[in-house]
Amino acid sequence: MTQAVQDTTFEIWRGKAYPLGATYDGSGTNFAVFSEVAEKVELCLFDADGAQTACFTLPEIDGFVWHGFIPNIEPGQRYGYRVHGPYDPANGHRCNPNKLLLDPYSKAIDGTFDWNQSLFGYDFGEEDSRNDDDSADSMPKSVVINPFFDWGIDRPPNHEYADSVIYEAHVKGLTETHPDIPEQIRGTYAAVAHPAIIEHLQALGVTAIELMPVHHFANDSTLVDKGLSNYWGYNTIGFFAPDSKYSSSPNPGGQVQEFKAMVRTLHEAGIEVILDVVYNHTAEGNHMGPTLSMRGIDNTAYYQLVADDKKYYMDYTGTGNSLNVSHPHSLQLIMDSLRYWVTEMHVDGFRFDLASTLAREFYDVDRLATFFELVQQDPTVSQVKLIAEPWDVGPGGYQVGNFPPQWTEWNGKYRDTVRDFWRGEPATLDEFAYRLTGSADLYEHTARRPVASINFVIAHDGFTLRDLVSYNEKHNEANGEDNNDGESHNRSWNCGVEGPTDDPEVLALRAKQERNFLTTLLLSQGVPMICHGDELGRTQGGNNNGYCQDNEITWVDWSSADEGLLEYTRAVSALRAAHPVFRRRRFFNGKPVGRRGQEGLPDIAWFTPEGTEMTGEDWGSGFAKSVAVFLNGMGIPDRDARGQRVVDDSFVLFFNAHYEPIDFTLPPKEFGTEWVTVLRTDGGEEQTVAAGEPLTIDARTTVVLQAVPAEA
C-alpha cells in the first residue's frame, strides 16, 4: 500500500456521523462512511495528478459510521477510503486496505478506471488467492463538491400523469450530432438544455424527459478490451454523482453545477426531468469482479450473497450481483440517494431499472417489501413520479401489474400487443382493445387508474421504430458477440425486404406502419413514452442491443431527419393535448352516461366494419384484425381544477391491421350525425362522412374522425 507522509497543514477532528458522505460547510468538510465489519478506516487525499498527499485514520465511530472533520478542505478535493478488516471471501468479507475505494455517497467522481490486476482482490487465474497490489493509481477519485447553487425561482412543473408525454433519451446520443449545438458542449448536460433541444421537445408536446442512466458508471473492462464502451450506462458505481462523462466542465465537481443548470433550464421550459436509475446492482460484478467501493467497505451489508456459500453473489439482474435491500444501511443508501436527487438536484421522478429486484428481500418477489414501504412513507420520494421496469431475470421476476398503488409501470404487454396487432398476428384484437384503453385488466384490481400504464412501443433496449418496420432479424455483428446478444423475438416485420431498400411500395408501407405505431401510442389511454429519435426516423441498422455502441450507430442523426414523420408526430401529440378524451383519469366502464336524468350514450363503444356493436363472438374471432371505437367526449368522469365537469368532442378511431382495405360503416346517427377526418396514416385527404355512410379504410391504416358540432 502506498504510504504518504502526513500533511501537517491539515488536522482531523471528530466530526459527525451524519450525513454520510463528504459534506462541505464553508469552513471545512465532514467525512462519514458506514462499515460494520471495518477495524479501521483511512481517508486518503489526492492532488490533481492523482498523487496521494495525506492519509488520516477516521477518529470516531458511531453506529458503525466512521467519521471525521477536516478544516479547510474545500470543493474540488479528491479523496478515497482504505478499509482495514477481514478478508474472508467464504464468509462474505472482502476488506483489503490496498484497494482504494470510492465513497458510496460520492457527490462527484473524477477520473476513469485503468483496468488492471490492482483493481481486483485476487490474482488473475487464481480466484482463491489474495492480491495486495495498491489500486490508487488506477482508480478514479471521489470529489468534495460545492453544494451551493442559485436555483432562482425554480419550481417543479408538476405535470399530472394524465397530461404527460415522456421522452426517453440518452444525454450523448440525443445531442452529439445536432448541428445547432456548439461542438464543445455536444453530448453533455449543457447540450440537453440548449434551446435547439428544448424547442424540439416542446414542439413534440413532451412534458418530461427521461434520461438514461446519469449516475456515475463504469465502462466494463471486457468492453474496453474490445474497443467498445458501456454506452447505456447500466453499470452504476456512484448513486449520488452525475457522471462526469456528460459534463463540459473541466473542473472536478463541475458536473454537479452543470446538471443543476440543465434541470433549472428544462423546468423553465415546463419540462420535467426523470432519471433512469439502477439501484439493483453495481459495477463491482460477481465474485470475479473488481473491488471498487462497497465490496471492500462492507460486502455482506451491501450485496445479496448465496446463503450457503457467501463467496458467491445472488444475481437477479444478469450483471453479477444484486443490492441487498434487506439490510438497513443498503436501504438507507438507496433512500438517501433518491431524496438527494429530489431535494438537491431538483429532479421530478425516477424510472427504476429491473425494479423487481428491489422487492427481493429474500428470494421471492414481494411487492410489499421494505423498500416499497419506505418509499410510500417518505414525504419527499413518495411525491415524485415513480416508474417501475416491472421485471428482472430471476424466478417470478415478471411483475407487470403487481406494483403498489402509487407506482406506474413500463407496460411490456402494451409493447408486445401493439407490435403483434400491427404486424397482423391473429387473435390480438381483444387484447389490443385492453391496451388501447389503459390496460384495466392489469391495473384496475389494485385501485389504480389508466395512468399506471406507461405505454411504449419502443425503448432504448431493442429496435428503433424505423428498424422495427425494416428488419425481421437483429443485426448486432458490431457488438463482437457473433450476433448472439440481444433479443431474437422482436415482434418486428420488415414489410417485405430486410433492411435498406429503394422499393417505393415497401418504403411507403414502412412509413405508414411507423405512423400507425405513433398514432396508437399517443392516442391510447395511459402515459405515452416516445424513444428519442423515433419521431425522426432514427435507425441503428438493425442493431437491437446498442448498449456498447457509443458512435454513429446509436447517436441521433439530425442531418437525416424524416421531416414528414416529425410533422405527423407533432400533429398526433397536439391532438392528444387538445382533447381530454384521449387522456382520461379513469377507466371506461361502457355504461350509458347519465345526462340531466336521462340515459345517454356509453362512454365507449366498439363497432365491427359493418357498423354494428361488437359482440363476444366478434371479439373471439381469431382472424379479426379491424375494429372501430367510439370515444364519448361527454362521458369523461373527470373534473377540472375548478370542479367543473370535463367535456370534449367525440371521436371514432378506425384500426385496420388487415393486408387489404376494409369498408367500414359509420356508427348510427345517435352517436354523431357528421364526422370529419383529423388524422389518417395513409396520407389520404380530409373528408366529411355522415352517420351510417361507408368509409373505406386502406390496408394497415388508422383513421381518426372527429364529430362535427351540430351548429356547424
The overall longest dimension of the chain from CA atoms, in Å, is: 91
Q: Which of 551, 547, 483, 536 is nearest to 167 (CA)?
A: 536
**How far is the C-alpha of 408 from the C-alpha of 450, rounded, in Å?**
9
Pick the catalytic residue: 42, 176, 258, 353? 353
Grid cell, residue 196, equals 435547439
- How many C-beta atoms lie closer than 10 Å to residue 443's C-beta? 25
Strand partners, 29: 24, 70
Residues 6+ positions from 2 with CB-CB distance below 8 Å? 52, 134, 136
Amino acid at 513: Q
Do the beta carbons of residue 636 and residue 580 sit within 8 Å? yes
Cell representation of residue 320: 453479477
Strand order in the sheet with 109-110: 52-57, 40-46, 78-84, 141-143, 109-110
DSSP code of 670? G
Q: Which of 210, 258, 389, 698 is catalytic?
A: 389
For the question of residue 389 being annotated catalytic, the response is yes
**Cα 496 to Cα 681: distance, rounded to the nearest angstrom:** 19
Residues 257/146, Cβ–Cβ less than 8 Å: yes
Residues 644, 701 contacting (CB under 8 angstroms): no
How far is it, in rounded angstroms, from Cα 670 to Cα 691?
Answer: 8
Upstream peptide bond of 500 is cis (omega within 30 degrees of 0): no
- Spatial CA neighbour of 140 closest among 281, 288, 245, 2: 245
What span, in angstroms and rounded, lies between the C-alpha atoms of 632 and 649?
Answer: 7
Counting Cβ atoms within 10 Å, is residue 712 exposed (0-12), middle (13-18) or buried (19+)? exposed
Q: Which among 262, 240, 255 is positioned nearest to 151, based on CA atoms? A: 262
Vertex 199: Cα angle to 572 and 277 (nearest 5):
85
Provide the annotated active-site residues. 353, 389
